[in-house]
A and B are shown apart, each in its own frame.
Chain A
Protein backbone atom coordinates (compact mmCIF):
# COMPACT_ATOMS: atom_id res chain seq x y z
CA UNK A 1 0.00 0.00 0.00
CA UNK A 2 1.00 3.61 -0.53
CA UNK A 3 1.80 5.81 2.43
CA UNK A 4 2.19 9.55 2.09
CA UNK A 5 3.90 11.23 5.02
CA UNK A 6 4.46 14.91 5.86
CA UNK A 7 8.19 15.52 6.05
CA UNK A 8 9.87 18.61 7.39
CA UNK A 9 13.25 19.11 8.92
CA UNK A 10 13.70 22.81 9.71
CA UNK A 11 17.49 22.44 9.66
CA UNK A 12 17.64 21.24 6.05
CA UNK A 13 14.25 21.85 4.36
CA UNK A 14 13.02 25.23 3.17
CA UNK A 15 9.42 24.06 3.33
CA UNK A 16 7.47 20.92 4.24
CA UNK A 17 6.69 18.28 1.62
CA UNK A 18 4.79 15.00 1.35
CA UNK A 19 6.94 11.91 0.77
CA UNK A 20 5.56 8.68 -0.69
CA UNK A 21 6.45 5.23 0.63
CA UNK A 22 5.43 1.74 -0.43
CA UNK A 23 4.71 -0.65 2.45
CA UNK A 24 3.78 -4.34 2.32
CA UNK A 25 1.10 -5.05 4.93
CA UNK A 26 0.47 -8.60 3.62
CA UNK A 27 -3.22 -7.75 3.65
CA UNK A 28 -3.32 -7.36 7.43
CA UNK A 29 -5.41 -4.68 9.13
CA UNK A 30 -2.40 -3.21 10.95
CA UNK A 31 -2.45 -0.22 13.23
CA UNK A 32 -1.15 3.01 11.72
CA UNK A 33 1.72 2.97 14.23
CA UNK A 34 2.80 -0.42 12.80
CA UNK A 35 2.84 1.14 9.33
CA UNK A 36 5.07 3.93 10.67
CA UNK A 37 7.43 1.30 12.09
CA UNK A 38 7.60 -0.37 8.65
CA UNK A 39 8.30 2.99 7.02
CA UNK A 40 10.97 3.70 9.63
CA UNK A 41 12.73 0.47 8.56
CA UNK A 42 13.01 1.97 5.07
CA UNK A 43 13.79 5.51 6.13
CA UNK A 44 15.54 6.03 9.45
CA UNK A 45 15.21 9.81 9.20
CA UNK A 46 11.45 9.76 9.82
CA UNK A 47 10.56 11.31 13.19
CA UNK A 48 7.42 10.62 15.21
CA UNK A 49 6.49 10.25 18.88
CA UNK A 50 5.33 6.97 20.39
CA UNK A 51 5.57 5.28 23.72
CA UNK A 52 2.99 2.88 25.16
CA UNK A 53 1.57 1.77 21.77
CA UNK A 54 -1.81 1.01 23.36
CA UNK A 55 -3.71 4.30 23.56
CA UNK A 56 -2.74 5.20 27.11
CA UNK A 57 0.15 7.65 26.86
CA UNK A 58 -1.24 9.92 24.12
CA UNK A 59 2.14 10.40 22.43
CA UNK A 60 1.27 9.47 18.87
CA UNK A 61 -1.61 11.80 18.13
CA UNK A 62 -1.53 12.68 14.45
CA UNK A 63 -3.72 13.50 11.49
CA UNK A 64 -4.59 10.40 9.46
CA UNK A 65 -6.31 11.06 6.11
CA UNK A 66 -7.74 14.30 7.49
CA UNK A 67 -8.87 13.09 10.92
CA UNK A 68 -6.93 13.32 14.17
CA UNK A 69 -6.41 10.21 16.24
CA UNK A 70 -3.87 7.99 17.96
CA UNK A 71 -1.84 6.00 15.44
CA UNK A 72 -1.40 3.09 17.86
CA UNK A 73 -5.11 2.29 18.23
CA UNK A 74 -6.33 3.25 14.77
CA UNK A 75 -6.44 0.25 12.40
CA UNK A 76 -6.10 0.92 8.67
CA UNK A 77 -9.72 -0.13 8.16
CA UNK A 78 -10.86 2.75 10.36
CA UNK A 79 -8.71 5.46 8.80
CA UNK A 80 -10.84 5.85 5.67
CA UNK A 81 -12.68 3.49 3.31
CA UNK A 82 -10.29 2.02 0.72
CA UNK A 83 -7.06 2.51 2.70
CA UNK A 84 -6.84 -1.09 3.92
CA UNK A 85 -7.53 -2.41 0.41
CA UNK A 86 -4.81 -0.17 -1.00
CA UNK A 87 -7.24 1.77 -3.18
CA UNK A 88 -6.38 4.98 -1.39
CA UNK A 89 -3.05 6.04 0.14
CA UNK A 90 -2.62 6.42 3.87
CA UNK A 91 -1.90 10.12 4.41
CA UNK A 92 -0.16 11.07 7.66
CA UNK A 93 0.34 14.64 8.81
CA UNK A 94 1.25 16.20 12.17
CA UNK A 95 -1.55 17.50 14.42
CA UNK A 96 -2.85 20.67 12.75
CA UNK A 97 -2.36 24.10 14.26
CA UNK A 98 0.74 23.43 16.35
CA UNK A 99 4.28 24.34 15.25
CA UNK A 100 6.10 21.39 13.67
CA UNK A 101 9.41 20.50 15.27
CA UNK A 102 10.16 17.81 12.72
CA UNK A 103 8.05 15.50 10.50
CA UNK A 104 5.15 14.27 12.66
CA UNK A 105 6.48 15.76 15.90
CA UNK A 106 4.77 18.97 17.01
CA UNK A 107 5.58 21.49 19.71
CA UNK A 108 2.87 20.96 22.35
CA UNK A 109 3.88 24.10 24.29
CA UNK A 110 0.76 26.12 23.44
CA UNK A 111 -1.45 23.17 24.31
CA UNK A 112 0.20 22.68 27.70
CA UNK A 113 0.10 26.44 28.42
CA UNK A 114 -3.68 26.35 28.14
CA UNK A 115 -3.82 23.21 30.28
CA UNK A 116 -1.78 24.97 32.96
CA UNK A 117 -4.14 27.97 32.95
CA UNK A 118 -7.10 25.91 34.22
CA UNK A 119 -5.08 24.92 37.30
CA UNK A 120 -5.68 21.20 36.85
CA UNK A 121 -5.28 20.17 40.46
CA UNK A 122 -7.54 19.89 43.48
CA UNK A 123 -7.78 23.11 45.51
CA UNK A 124 -9.04 22.65 49.03
CA UNK A 125 -7.90 24.71 52.02
CA UNK A 126 -9.87 22.75 54.59
CA UNK A 127 -7.47 20.71 56.79
CA UNK A 128 -7.32 17.21 55.35
CA UNK A 129 -8.94 14.44 57.42
CA UNK A 130 -6.77 11.68 58.87
CA UNK A 131 -7.26 9.25 56.00
CA UNK A 132 -8.67 10.89 52.87
CA UNK A 133 -11.32 13.29 51.59
CA UNK A 134 -14.34 11.12 50.98
CA UNK A 135 -16.87 11.47 48.18
CA UNK A 136 -20.30 9.93 47.81
CA UNK A 137 -20.58 7.45 44.95
CA UNK A 138 -22.86 10.00 43.21
CA UNK A 139 -20.27 12.78 43.49
CA UNK A 140 -17.56 10.44 42.27
CA UNK A 141 -19.73 9.45 39.31
CA UNK A 142 -19.75 13.09 38.15
CA UNK A 143 -16.05 12.74 37.29
CA UNK A 144 -16.64 9.87 34.87
CA UNK A 145 -16.03 10.98 31.32
CA UNK A 146 -13.75 13.77 32.56
CA UNK A 147 -10.76 12.24 34.33
CA UNK A 148 -9.96 9.78 31.52
CA UNK A 149 -8.38 12.44 29.26
CA UNK A 150 -4.79 11.52 28.31
CA UNK A 151 -3.87 14.96 26.89
CA UNK A 152 -3.07 13.65 23.41
CA UNK A 153 -4.25 17.01 21.93
CA UNK A 154 -6.30 15.33 19.17
CA UNK A 155 -9.37 17.38 20.21
CA UNK A 156 -7.82 20.82 20.61
CA UNK A 157 -5.90 20.53 17.34
CA UNK A 158 -9.08 19.62 15.46
CA UNK A 159 -10.84 22.74 16.74
CA UNK A 160 -10.83 25.80 14.42
CA UNK A 161 -11.32 28.14 17.38
CA UNK A 162 -8.09 26.73 18.85
CA UNK A 163 -6.31 27.04 15.48
CA UNK A 164 -7.14 30.75 15.22
CA UNK A 165 -6.60 31.70 18.87
CA UNK A 166 -4.39 29.06 20.51
CA UNK A 167 -3.16 31.62 23.02
CA UNK A 168 -6.59 32.91 24.07
CA UNK A 169 -9.10 30.07 23.62
CA UNK A 170 -8.33 27.32 26.12
CA UNK A 171 -9.38 24.54 23.77
CA UNK A 172 -11.53 21.46 24.44
CA UNK A 173 -8.89 19.46 26.34
CA UNK A 174 -8.16 22.21 28.87
CA UNK A 175 -11.87 23.01 29.26
CA UNK A 176 -12.68 19.34 29.86
CA UNK A 177 -10.06 19.37 32.62
CA UNK A 178 -11.43 22.64 33.94
CA UNK A 179 -14.86 21.05 34.33
CA UNK A 180 -13.26 17.95 35.87
CA UNK A 181 -12.28 20.15 38.84
CA UNK A 182 -15.41 22.32 38.78
CA UNK A 183 -17.46 19.12 39.07
CA UNK A 184 -15.33 17.72 41.87
CA UNK A 185 -17.16 17.88 45.23
CA UNK A 186 -13.81 18.15 47.03
CA UNK A 187 -12.65 21.27 45.17
CA UNK A 188 -13.28 24.64 46.82
CA UNK A 189 -12.06 27.02 44.11
CA UNK A 190 -15.22 26.97 41.97
CA UNK A 191 -15.74 30.74 42.08
CA UNK A 192 -12.13 31.56 41.16
CA UNK A 193 -12.16 28.97 38.39
CA UNK A 194 -15.40 30.34 36.90
CA UNK A 195 -14.28 33.97 37.12
CA UNK A 196 -11.25 33.11 34.98
CA UNK A 197 -13.47 31.64 32.23
CA UNK A 198 -15.94 34.50 31.91
CA UNK A 199 -14.26 36.44 29.09
CA UNK A 200 -15.15 36.29 25.35
CA UNK A 201 -12.26 33.96 24.48
CA UNK A 202 -11.26 31.41 27.14
CA UNK A 203 -14.47 29.36 26.94
CA UNK A 204 -16.95 31.28 24.81
CA UNK A 205 -14.94 30.79 21.60
CA UNK A 206 -16.43 27.31 21.55
CA UNK A 207 -19.15 27.36 18.89
CA UNK A 208 -20.17 23.78 19.57
CA UNK A 209 -19.14 22.24 16.23
CA UNK A 210 -18.12 19.09 18.12
CA UNK A 211 -14.97 18.25 16.14
CA UNK A 212 -13.45 17.45 19.54
CA UNK A 213 -16.10 14.84 20.25
CA UNK A 214 -15.73 13.18 16.87
CA UNK A 215 -11.95 12.73 17.18
CA UNK A 216 -11.44 11.93 20.90
CA UNK A 217 -9.73 8.52 21.00
CA UNK A 218 -11.05 7.94 24.51
CA UNK A 219 -14.67 8.65 23.52
CA UNK A 220 -14.95 11.71 25.76
CA UNK A 221 -17.27 14.67 25.18
CA UNK A 222 -15.58 18.06 25.77
CA UNK A 223 -18.53 19.90 24.16
CA UNK A 224 -20.84 18.60 26.88
CA UNK A 225 -18.34 19.63 29.58
CA UNK A 226 -18.13 23.12 28.04
CA UNK A 227 -21.94 23.26 28.08
CA UNK A 228 -21.93 22.39 31.79
CA UNK A 229 -19.42 25.18 32.52
CA UNK A 230 -21.54 27.60 30.49
CA UNK A 231 -24.58 26.65 32.58
CA UNK A 232 -22.57 27.24 35.77
CA UNK A 233 -21.52 30.68 34.47
CA UNK A 234 -25.12 31.44 33.57
CA UNK A 235 -26.39 30.48 37.02
CA UNK A 236 -23.67 32.59 38.60
CA UNK A 237 -24.10 35.55 36.24
CA UNK A 238 -27.85 36.18 36.14
Chain B
Protein backbone atom coordinates (compact mmCIF):
# COMPACT_ATOMS: atom_id res chain seq x y z
CA UNK B 1 0.00 0.00 0.00
CA UNK B 2 1.45 3.34 -1.08
CA UNK B 3 -0.05 6.46 0.41
CA UNK B 4 0.18 9.48 -1.87
CA UNK B 5 -0.95 12.87 -0.70
CA UNK B 6 -0.67 14.72 -4.01
CA UNK B 7 -2.84 12.48 -6.19
CA UNK B 8 -6.30 13.91 -6.81
CA UNK B 9 -8.49 11.47 -4.91
CA UNK B 10 -5.60 10.14 -2.76
CA UNK B 11 -6.92 6.77 -3.82
CA UNK B 12 -6.23 4.78 -6.97
CA UNK B 13 -9.84 3.86 -7.65
CA UNK B 14 -11.14 7.44 -7.40
CA UNK B 15 -8.38 8.80 -9.63
CA UNK B 16 -9.02 6.07 -12.15
CA UNK B 17 -12.76 6.70 -12.09
CA UNK B 18 -12.45 10.50 -12.28
CA UNK B 19 -10.10 10.17 -15.23
CA UNK B 20 -12.56 7.99 -17.13
CA UNK B 21 -15.65 10.06 -16.29
CA UNK B 22 -13.85 13.28 -17.23
CA UNK B 23 -12.72 11.68 -20.50
CA UNK B 24 -16.33 10.80 -21.33
CA UNK B 25 -17.46 14.38 -20.57
CA UNK B 26 -14.67 15.84 -22.75
CA UNK B 27 -15.45 13.37 -25.53
CA UNK B 28 -19.20 14.03 -25.51
CA UNK B 29 -18.59 17.80 -25.44
CA UNK B 30 -16.14 17.68 -28.35
CA UNK B 31 -18.41 15.48 -30.48
CA UNK B 32 -21.43 17.71 -29.66
CA UNK B 33 -19.51 20.88 -30.43
CA UNK B 34 -18.14 19.43 -33.66
CA UNK B 35 -21.67 18.40 -34.68
CA UNK B 36 -22.94 21.90 -33.93
CA UNK B 37 -20.14 23.58 -35.89
CA UNK B 38 -20.75 21.32 -38.90
CA UNK B 39 -24.53 21.79 -38.91
CA UNK B 40 -24.73 25.44 -37.80
CA UNK B 41 -23.62 26.82 -41.15
CA UNK B 42 -22.41 30.44 -41.14
CA UNK B 43 -21.81 31.50 -37.56
CA UNK B 44 -21.88 35.12 -36.58
CA UNK B 45 -20.95 36.72 -33.27
CA UNK B 46 -24.57 37.10 -32.13
CA UNK B 47 -25.42 33.41 -32.64
CA UNK B 48 -22.22 32.28 -30.93
CA UNK B 49 -22.78 34.61 -27.97
CA UNK B 50 -26.40 33.47 -27.63
CA UNK B 51 -25.26 29.85 -27.61
CA UNK B 52 -22.58 30.46 -25.00
CA UNK B 53 -24.92 32.54 -22.82
CA UNK B 54 -27.65 29.93 -22.39
CA UNK B 55 -27.54 28.19 -19.01
CA UNK B 56 -27.27 24.67 -20.46
CA UNK B 57 -24.16 25.66 -22.40
CA UNK B 58 -22.69 27.46 -19.40
CA UNK B 59 -23.10 24.29 -17.35
CA UNK B 60 -21.62 22.20 -20.17
CA UNK B 61 -18.66 24.57 -20.44
CA UNK B 62 -18.12 24.49 -16.69
CA UNK B 63 -18.19 20.69 -16.71
CA UNK B 64 -15.68 20.75 -19.57
CA UNK B 65 -13.28 23.11 -17.78
CA UNK B 66 -13.43 21.08 -14.55
CA UNK B 67 -13.06 17.79 -16.46
CA UNK B 68 -10.04 19.06 -18.40
CA UNK B 69 -8.42 20.25 -15.16
CA UNK B 70 -9.07 16.98 -13.30
CA UNK B 71 -8.04 14.84 -16.28
CA UNK B 72 -4.86 16.87 -16.78
CA UNK B 73 -3.92 16.72 -13.11
CA UNK B 74 -4.34 12.94 -12.85
CA UNK B 75 -2.49 12.37 -16.14
CA UNK B 76 0.39 14.73 -15.40
CA UNK B 77 0.59 13.53 -11.79
CA UNK B 78 1.18 10.08 -13.29
CA UNK B 79 3.81 11.45 -15.67
CA UNK B 80 5.67 13.31 -12.91
CA UNK B 81 5.67 10.32 -10.59
CA UNK B 82 6.89 8.09 -13.45
CA UNK B 83 9.68 10.22 -14.83
CA UNK B 84 10.71 12.69 -12.13
CA UNK B 85 11.95 10.08 -9.67
CA UNK B 86 15.17 9.00 -8.03
CA UNK B 87 16.01 6.98 -11.14
CA UNK B 88 16.36 10.15 -13.21
CA UNK B 89 17.13 12.89 -10.68
CA UNK B 90 18.73 11.09 -7.74
CA UNK B 91 18.38 12.85 -4.43
CA UNK B 92 16.97 15.99 -6.07
CA UNK B 93 13.94 14.04 -7.32
CA UNK B 94 11.53 14.99 -4.53
CA UNK B 95 12.28 18.70 -4.96
CA UNK B 96 12.03 18.53 -8.75
CA UNK B 97 8.75 16.62 -8.57
CA UNK B 98 7.29 18.97 -5.97
CA UNK B 99 8.14 22.06 -8.02
CA UNK B 100 6.78 20.47 -11.23
CA UNK B 101 3.54 19.42 -9.52
CA UNK B 102 3.06 22.82 -7.91
CA UNK B 103 3.59 24.61 -11.24
CA UNK B 104 1.09 22.28 -12.93
CA UNK B 105 -1.41 22.74 -10.09
CA UNK B 106 -1.04 26.52 -10.18
CA UNK B 107 -1.54 26.65 -13.94
CA UNK B 108 -4.63 24.46 -13.64
CA UNK B 109 -6.13 26.61 -10.88
CA UNK B 110 -5.54 29.72 -13.05
CA UNK B 111 -7.08 27.89 -16.01
CA UNK B 112 -10.17 26.92 -14.00
CA UNK B 113 -10.68 30.39 -12.51
CA UNK B 114 -10.11 32.12 -15.84
CA UNK B 115 -12.46 29.66 -17.54
CA UNK B 116 -15.18 30.24 -14.94
CA UNK B 117 -14.84 34.01 -15.32
CA UNK B 118 -15.23 33.65 -19.09
CA UNK B 119 -18.22 31.30 -18.79
CA UNK B 120 -20.14 33.06 -16.03
CA UNK B 121 -18.71 36.57 -16.23
CA UNK B 122 -21.24 37.66 -18.81
CA UNK B 123 -18.64 39.66 -20.74
Q: A and B, one complex? A: yes
Contact between chains at B13 and A165 (CB < 8 Å): no
A: interface residue count bin: 20 to 34
Q: Which residues of chain A have C-beta atoms less than 8 A from B77's C-beta?
A: 200
Q: Complex Cα distance A199/B8, Å? A: 11
**Residue contact A233 to B13, C-beta cutoff 8 Å:** yes
Asked whether A198 lies within 8 Å of B2 as measured between CB atoms, the reply is: no
Q: How far is B11's CA from A203's CA once the two chains are assembled, in angstroms?
A: 11
A197 and B13 alpha carbons, distance in the complex (Å): 9
- Which of B2, B78, B85 contacts A199 (CB under 8 A)? B2
Q: Establish whether residues A202 and B13, one from each chain, have CB atoms under 8 Å apart when the complex forms.
A: no
B12 contacts A164, CB within 8 Å? no
A48 within 8 A of B: no
Bound CA span A77–B9, Å: 48
Main secondary structure of the interface of A (DSSP, over half): loop
Contact A201 B82 (CB under 8 A): no
- List A179-238 residues whose CB lies under 8 Å from chain B: 195-205, 230, 233-234, 237-238
CA distance A195 to B12 in the complex (A): 11
- Asked if B12 and A165 make an inter-chain contact with CB atoms under 8 angstroms apart, the answer reads no
B39 interface contact, C-beta 8 A: no
**Interface: A168 (CB within 8 A):** yes
B1 touches A202 (CB 8 A): yes
Known: A233-B13, A237-B13. A165 touches B4 (CB 8 A): no
In the assembled complex, A161 has its CB within 8 A of some CB on chain B: yes
Cβ-defined partner of A200 (8 Å) among B2, B17, B83, B85: B2
B4 nearest CB across to chain A (Å): 5
Bound state CA distance, A201 and B2, in angstroms?
A: 6
Taken together as a complex, chains A and B put the C-alpha atoms of A67 and B10 apart, in Å, by 35
A199 & B82 in contact (Cβ 8 Å cutoff): no
Q: A164-B82, A165-B85 are in contact. Are A202 and B11 (CB under 8 A)?
A: no
Q: Considering the complex, which residues of chain B in the window 29-86 have a beta carbon less than 8 Å from any beta carbon of chain A?
A: 77-78, 81-83, 85
Q: How far is the CB of B16 from chain A (nearest CB, A)?
A: 5
> Do the beta carbons of B15 and A200 come within 8 Å of each other?
yes
B30 CB, nearest partner CB in chain A, Å: 22
Q: Which of A161, A164, A196 contacts B87 (CB 8 A)?
A: A164
Chain A residue numbers with a CB within 8 Å of B17 are: 234, 238
Q: Which residues of chain A come closer than 8 Å to B13, judged between CB atoms? A: 198, 204, 230, 233-234, 237
A200 CA to B82 CA, complexed, in Å: 12
Contact A165 B81 (CB under 8 A): yes
Report A-chain residues with C-beta under 8 Å of the C-beta of B2.
Answer: 168, 199-202
- Which residues on B sit within 8 Å (CB–CB) of A204? 12-13, 15-16
Note all chain A residues with C-beta closer than 8 A to B83. 164
B16 touches A199 (CB 8 A): no
A97 to chain B, nearest CB (A): 10
B24 vs chain A, min Cβ distance (A): 15
How many angstroms between the C-alpha atoms of A164 and B14 in the bound complex?
22
B10 neighbours in A (Cβ, 8 Å): 200
Residue of B3, B15, B16, B85 touching A164 (CB-CB under 8 A): B85
21 A-B pairs with CB atoms under 8 Å apart are A164-B82, A164-B87, A165-B82, A197-B1, A198-B13, A199-B1, A199-B4, A200-B2, A200-B7, A200-B12, A200-B77, A201-B4, A204-B12, A204-B13, A205-B78, A230-B16, A233-B12, A233-B13, A237-B13, A237-B14, A238-B17
